[in-house]
Amino acid sequence: MSFDEATPLYDVIVVGYGPVGQVLTNLLAQDGHRVAVIERWPELYPRPRAAHFDHEIRRLLDRLGVVAELGEDVVEMRSYEWRGADGELILDLEADMLAASGYVFSHLFYQPALERALHERALRAPSVDLLRGWEMVSVAETDGIVTAIGERTRPAGAGELELTGERIELRGRFVVGADGANSRLRTLSGIGEVDLGFSEHWLVVDVGFPDHDVAERLWAQLGDSCQWCDPRRPHMSVQVGRYHRRWEFMLLPGEDPAEFAADDVVWRMLERWVGPADAVLERHVVYRFSSSLAERMRVGRTLLIGDAAHVMPPFMGQGLCSGLRDAANLAWKLDLVLRGISDEALLDTLTAERYEQNRRTIEVSMRMGRVSCTLDPAAARNRDEAFRTGRTPPPEPMPGLRGGIRRRPAGTGSDPLAGSLAVQGLVGRDGRRGLADAVVGDGFCLITRHGVDLAEDDLRTVNALGIRLLCLDPAQPDGCTDLDGRLTGWLSETGVEAVLVRPDFYVFGCAPTTADVPALLADLRDQLLTGKNAPVATRVEAR
């Protein structure tokens, strides 16, 4: 395949087709944009890697309609136990409570099933071209157009690929790197990295259970997820969907990763729980758990998301989640820019919003990693006592957004909800009942307690940005019934009349009274629209 002067111009070229690249591709396609995906591997990766996503990501995946396809390959997580040097509990991170997004806090899943579901959705999108088995080898930007050169790959043995010399050219308005921790696009773009100082080698082992009864027995025995902070060898185990499980073991000082390459060595490490008669060894590999941040997530028409932009230790299960938050954040901004609604400067807020949140998430993951990786017995005893007596608090919750596209009240005031994660509840309207996203739809959403009359400028903003209106008073025209009281309770507890929610589920801002709603919409208009006379645009519905 080669292109000449008739090479099509894509809206976005996505480099990398793991879950982060898949989700971005599907979100852009859902909004009607033309996307080319270039991925060096010819097939989907058949082994699990990530094992956890939280309620916020569950909401995002529901937007794409893929969770229902996972079946038993995703389960609700109940708790994440941390056990001390004596094997007794030092911390229990309960995960089965209802979270802000309307789902239980955490889920455990089998990644190959998720990738298949996302891939099948991308295949159904007429505006997506998938180029698998091609590696991007160069990128250049000229006159507002990005040109990426890809070279075909072929297997080279031992799980490696080599380049064949056959090349293609892709042209797009933007290129997004979702190509992992060793991102070629990040290197080619000259974006540096900041090493945050965590580095430990761990053996990661994934097993499957042909006999489902064995999986259920181990699940009952080990629970959903457990971290043993044992100074003799820190290790952990986690359920992966319903019928797979993962163990991870820290390598001790002086141990060579090559020592753990043989299957029989791995089975000896697992023998206290399971053996080859009960399970299938799907994968075992030594990873270096590390921590780093790209210095920025945008340069010109090149943007970075996922592991290409940040790498964190896995102890809080936020690596994939953070990457998918990047994708959700970038997708709606690219949509507005590509449709001419917003200026390209909007894309700079990707770094302004995501860099700080990712950094704080990495720092929490590093702190919990150091808790687990303590090898000195005396220090481990002191650590355990500090947790059990409450001198060491549990990890803080997921931080909100501190900068970027948020409400900017006049004067010295602040918005109590701006940058926080929006609540979702059950509502009913026009004979439909369900979570608000399913009833009202995607995109910006203005939630009001009693409804509001909008002036011409406000209606222009609503139309241009595709803002959905959700009134919680069923007596009002187009009002809905708040079936579980969560949304009404959220607004009442905060003391506000209205909340404006962004497409990535974060709050833009709130209005204390009905009279304050026009100022709220005007602030959004000033931050996003290219001018007060921006053309009215219709959001593309591709669901």
Q: What is the secondary structure of 252-305 as a DSSP string?
A: PTT--GGGG-SHHHHHHHHTTT--TTT-EEEEEEEEEEEEEEES-SEETTEEE-
Query: Are 396 and 343 spatial neighbours (Cβ–Cβ below 8 Å)?
Result: no
Strands (E), 78-144: 79-83, 89-94, 106-109, 128-132, 134-142
Using 70 as the pLDDT threshold, list the residues of the chain that sit under it: 1-6, 411-412, 531-543
pLDDT on residue 408 = 84
Cβ neighbors of 95 (< 8 A, separation 6 or more) are 77, 78, 79, 80, 104, 105, 106, 224
- Rounded Cα–Cα distance for residues 158 and 75 (Å): 33
Structure tokens at 125: 């999108």
Q: What angle do CA 427, 433, 434 make, to 5 degrees?
A: 70
Alpha helix segments (H runs only) across 283-426: 319-338, 349-372, 377-389
H or E element, residue 61 = helix 55-63
Q: What string of DSSP letters covers 457-471?
A: HHHHHHHHHT-EEEE
- Rounded Cα–Cα distance for residues 21 and 18 (Å): 5
Sheet holding 426-429, edge to edge: 432-435, 426-429, 481-482
- Rounded Cα–Cα distance for residues 329 and 349 (Å): 9
Q: List the domain boundaries for the chain.
A: 9-75+109-195+291-370, 426-528
pLDDT digits (tens, 9 = 90+) for 452-486: 999 999 999 999 999 999 999 999 988 999 999 99
- Rounded Cα–Cα distance for residues 89 and 63 (Å): 37
Cβ neighbors of 429 (< 8 A, separation 6 or more) are 439, 440, 478, 479, 480, 481
| Dihedral (CA of 437, 439, 445, 448) sign | negative
- Rounded Cα–Cα distance for residues 30 and 396 (Å): 34
- Rounded Cα–Cα distance for residues 202 and 315 (Å): 12
Query: Are 333 and 349 spatial neighbours (Cβ–Cβ below 8 Å)?
Result: yes
Whether CATH 3.40.30.120 fits 426-528: yes
Burial of 118-131, coded b for 16+ CB within 10 Å and e otherwise, reads bbebbeebebbbbb
Q: Domain 9-75+109-195+291-370 has what CATH class?
A: alpha beta
Antiparallel, parallel or unpaired: β 145-157 and 160-177: antiparallel
Cβ neighbors of 468 (< 8 A, separation 6 or more) are 440, 441, 442, 443, 444, 445, 446
- Angstrom CA distances, 408 to 352, 467, 510, stand at 15, 19, 10
pLDDT digits (tens, 9 = 90+) for 388-402: 999 998 888 888 998
Cα atoms in the Cβ-side hemisphere of radius 13 Å centred on 436: 30
Cβ neighbors of 397 (< 8 A, separation 6 or more) are none
- DSSP class of 189: T
Structure tokens at 4: 């000449």
Secondary structure class of 184 (helix, strand, coil) = helix
- Rounded Cα–Cα distance for residues 310 and 351 (Å): 11
Strands (E), 160-221: 160-177, 193-208
pTM over the 0.85 mark = yes
Alpha helix segments (H runs only) across 78-110: none
Residue 242: name the closest of 271, 205, 215 by CA: 215
Query: Are 49 and 216 spatial neighbours (Cβ–Cβ below 8 Å)?
Result: no
Q: For residue 492, report the phi and psi dihedrals to the nearest 5 degrees.
A: -65, -45
Rg (Cα) of the chain, in Å, rounded?
A: 24
Task: Give the bridge partners for 154, in sequence order.
Answer: 162
Q: For residue 267, report the phi and psi dihedrals to the nearest 5 degrees.
A: -65, -35
- Angstrom CA distances, 207 to 218, 252, 258, 503, stand at 12, 23, 20, 37
